[in-house]
Amino acid sequence: MVKMVTGFGKIIPLLQRVLIVISALAVLRLIDAGGSMSMVLMDISIMLALAIAFGCLARWLCQPAVLGEILGGIILGPTVLGTIAPGTQSWIFPSTGASMQTLHAAAYLGLMAFLFTAGMEVGLTGIRHRSTTTVIASISGILLPFVLGFGMGVLLPQTWNYPTRDMMIFAAFM
């Protein structure tokens, strides 16, 4: 536990620097309202600051850092910040313009890097040792949602307000 507390000593100055950068970029954005580069830099700085803070909090709670980083993203997104303060959320992350396109591209690159890293950490020997469990989990993860969705499409068509002439096709894509 002492090791985790000393880890905060390295993170706090980093967070302070990131917050100073965010403040400077927010002022720059207020001065240069049309500048998309300052918006992108401010958005990325805010996302990194929250990811670092929540990742550190998650590690302090003996959880994987990625759990806290994902939670920070959920808090910044439309689920939490967009519900609590939609004006602030749309000011920080505008839904149109060049900064939105740049952030979407960066988000997709980050997602690909995350999935690549997660895939690199999967141990194939562990999967082979638990082959029965792996096969059952894989099949149930594909087959069970398909059967439930198809059943809902066929048995409850009025719920979806879809024309009945293509019901089987509609149910297959449920």
33 and 50 co-located in one domain: yes
Q: What is the pLDDT of residue 10?
A: 61
Domain final residue pick, 87, 103, 122: 122
What pLDDT, on a 0 to 100 scale, did the predictor assign at position 35? 62
Do 109 and 158 fall within a single domain? no
Tally of domains within the chain:
2
Amino acid at 61: L
Q: Do residue 110 and residue 29 come from a single domain? A: yes
> What is the reported pLDDT for 84?
92
Nearest alpha carbon to residue 11 among 50, 64, 62, 66 = 50
Q: Are residues 57 and 72 in the same domain?
A: yes
Same domain, 85 and 134: no
Residue 135 belongs to what domain range? 123-174
**Final residue belonging to a domain, choices 122, 146, 162:** 122
Residue-wise pLDDT tens for the chain (174 aa)? 434 444 555 666 666 676 777 676 666 666 555 566 777 777 888 888 888 888 888 888 999 888 988 899 899 888 898 899 888 888 888 877 777 788 888 888 888 887 888 777 777 777 777 888 888 888 888 999 888 888 888 887 777 776 667 777 777 777
CB contact set of 92 (below 8 Å; sequence gap of 6+): 42, 43, 46, 76, 81
Q: Tell me, what's the pLDDT at 71?
A: 92
Residue 48: what pLDDT?
A: 83
Quote the pLDDT of residue 6. Answer: 45
Residues 96, 51 within the same domain: yes
Of 104, 122, 140, the last residue of a domain is 122
Q: Identify whether residues 159 and 98 lie together within a single domain.
A: no
Q: CA 88, CA 135: separation in Å to the nearest integer?
A: 46
115 and 127 share one domain = no
- Provide the pLDDT for residue 164: 65
Q: At 166, list the tokens.
A: 């293509």
